[in-house]
Structure 1
Amino acid sequence: MFLINEIKKAFNGDAWHGNHVMHILSAVNPESAFEHFIPNAHAIAEIALHLTSWTEEVTARLMGKSASEPVAGDWPMPNGKESKNWEKIIFDFKIANDELIRICEAIEDDQWDQKSTDVNPLLNTNITKAELLNGLIQHHAYHAGQIALLSKF
């Protein structure tokens, strides 16, 4: 399934849109990861936690869990602003994506068009597993761009 290759690229591969998320996160200075460079905007660490949270939620939905807010919340807050906390945030993001890819690789090609447990309230329909994963790929790219810009401050 081509979307598995696309999530791999967005996470840690040759992404069409530019650097993949892990490259961008790895280049962030730990001291600046927790800074709020723009008033009322999220810090890089908060965006990374948000990415992890939604990666875990999409993985759970692909495994049959009903759609809900991620267990850790939509925008979890960092547990501290030390360098070790930043390293853990990056590590947890990597683990979440590795698990997602493992689950995706176990899904048979003919299962990707099956409806997921994710309901689109605007259309009152379930989206397919492929649409769910594609949404996360777009989510990774969107936030990768934000992190890349914030890291320039």
Structure 2
Amino acid sequence: MNKEAINKLLSTLEDSFQGLPWFGESLMDKLSRIDYRIVNIAHIPTTNSIARLVHHIINWRIFVIEKIKGNDAFDIEMNSQNDWTDLHISTEKDWADLIQKLVNTQKEIFDLLNAKTDEFLQTPVYGREYTIQRLIEGIVQHDIYHQGQIAVVAKQAALKG
């Protein structure tokens, strides 16, 4: 049972999420330092708030989870409510709950992939032109991309506040 490629992907996913990634700060390190009172602020009308960015990250991680489970029917329409969910964080608990949802997606992706072998990574994603491996690599890139946006919005919100 070969799991070398899966283990490598899991290591990369873990590093960027809450480890020591090559680019500096992990997603969870960044989010842990953000005060819930600024997560609804969007610097300009076309900028997403931190809360909306985090929920967007969660939405696409749910897409990954469903595809790993083999759910061919699950999809997210780009620029829909399922892609960019409107929400408002009112309390520190609301923020903690959103972060916990993100953590739960990490755990579920790990658990699902740990049960697979490297051969599974070559499974095509139904309705897409890529494999599960490319999907997992893509979610790491997606998280990093939006982490950069979160950093910019947090800095702008702190200057505003």
TM-score normalised over the length of structure 2: 0.84
Compute the displacement of 1:45 (Å). 0.3
Residue-by-residue CA offset, 1:41-99 (whole Å, 9 max, x unaligned): 100000000001111111110111125118x7101122542222111111110111111
Compute the displacement of 1:38 (Å). 2.5
Partner residue, 1:123? none
Q: Does 1:101 align with 2:101?
A: no
**Relative to structure 1, is the Cα distance of residues 81 and 118 closer, same or farther in structure 2, using a 3 angstrom cutoff?**
farther
Which of structure 1's runs of 4+ aligned residues deviate more than 3 A? none
CA distance in 2, matches of 1:104, 1:16: 23
Higher helix share: 2
Tell me if structure 1 keeps the 8 A contact 2:40–2:88: no
Tell me if structure 1 keeps the 8 A contact 2:39–2:89: no
Tell me if structure 1 keeps the 8 A contact 2:51–2:89: no
Q: Which runs of 5+ in 1 are unaligned?
A: 120-125
Partner residue, 1:9? 15
CA distance in 1, matches of 2:88, 2:50: 14
Partner residue, 1:73? 82
Partner residue, 2:141? 138
Taking only aligned residues, the RMSD between alpha carbons, in angstroms, comes to 1.6
Tell me if structure 2 keeps the 8 A contact 1:118–1:132: no
Q: Sequence identity of aligned pairs in percent?
A: 25
TM-score normalised over the length of structure 1: 0.88
